[in-house]
Structure 1
Amino acid sequence: MQNQTAGALRPGTDTPPHVAILDDEAEIRRILADALGEAGFRTSTYSRASDFEAALKRTAPDVCLVDLGLPDRDGLALVHRLALESGATIIIISGRANTADRVTGLELGADDYIIKPFEPAEVVARIRARLRKSRPAPEASANLARFNGWEAQFDQYMLVSEDGTQVPFSHAEGEVLRLFLDSPKRLISRHQMQESLGGAAGESFDRAMDVRISRLRAKLGEDPKNPRLIKTIYGAGYIFLGDVTWS
Structure 2
Amino acid sequence: MHKKALIYIIDDDRDICDLACSELEYYGYDIRVFNTGTLALQALRGMTPALCIIDLGLPDMDGMALVKALSDKPDVGVLILSGRGSLPDRVLGLELGGDDYITKPFEPRDLVARVHSLMRRLGLSQESRTPGRGVRKAQFAQWLYIPTTLTLSHSSGKNYTLSTAEGDLLNTLLGSNKQILSRDRLLGEQAIPYDRSIDSRMSRLRKKIEDNPKEPQIIKTVYGAGYIFAVDVSWIE
TM-score class normalised by the smaller sequence: 0.5 to 0.7
Is the CA contact 2:8–2:31 (under 8 Å) kept in the aligned structure 1?
A: yes
- How far residue 217 of structure 1 moved from its aligned partner, in angstroms, is 9.9
Alignment equivalent of 1:135, drawn from 123, 132, 141: 123
- Match status 1:34 vs 2:22: yes
SS in structure 1 at match of 2:72? helix
Q: Kindly report which structure 2 residues correspond to 1:161-200, keeping only aligned pairs within 5 A, or say none.
A: 181=146, 183-185=148-150
Q: What is the match of residue 67 of structure 1?
A: 55
- How far residue 185 of structure 1 moved from its aligned partner, in angstroms, is 4.1
- How far residue 145 of structure 1 moved from its aligned partner, in angstroms, is 2.6
| One-letter amino acid matched to 1:140 | G
What TM-score results when the alignment is normalised by the length of structure 1?
0.58
Aligned residues: 164
Moved over 6 A (4+): 136-139, 215-218
Alignment equivalent of 2:94, drawn from 94, 99, 106: 106
- How far residue 18 of structure 1 moved from its aligned partner, in angstroms, is 1.1
Instruction: Describe the shift of the 1:114–1:150 C-alpha distance in structure 2 as closer, same or farther (beyond 3 A).
Output: farther
What TM-score results when the alignment is normalised by the length of structure 2?
0.60
Once the two structures are superposed, what CA deviation does each residue of 1:152-192 show, in whole Å capped at 9, x if it has no partner? 3xxxxxxxxxxxxxxxxxxxxxxxxx7xx253249xxxxxx
Alignment equivalent of 1:230, drawn from 157, 161, 177: 161
| One-letter amino acid matched to 1:58 | G
Instruction: Describe the shift of the 1:133–1:230 C-alpha distance in structure 2 as closer, same or farther (beyond 3 A).
Output: closer
Is the CA contact 2:67–2:93 (under 8 Å) kept in the aligned structure 1?
A: yes
Q: Which structure: larger Rg?
A: 1
Listed as ranges, the gaps of 5+ residues in structure 1 are 1-12, 153-177, 187-212, 223-228, 232-238
Is the CA contact 2:137–2:147 (under 8 Å) kept in the aligned structure 1?
A: no
Once the two structures are superposed, what CA deviation does each residue of 1:70-106 show, in whole Å capped at 9, x if it has no partner? 1111211110110223521100000001100000000
Instruction: Describe the shift of the 1:136–1:52 C-alpha distance in structure 2 as closer, same or farther (beyond 3 A).
Output: closer
- Match status 1:219 vs 2:219: no
Instruction: Describe the shift of the 1:86–1:136 C-alpha distance in structure 2 as closer, same or farther (beyond 3 A).
Output: closer
**Which fold has the larger relative contact order, with Cα–Cα distance below 8 Å and residues 6 or more apart in sequence?**
2
Q: What is the match of residue 54 of structure 1?
A: 42
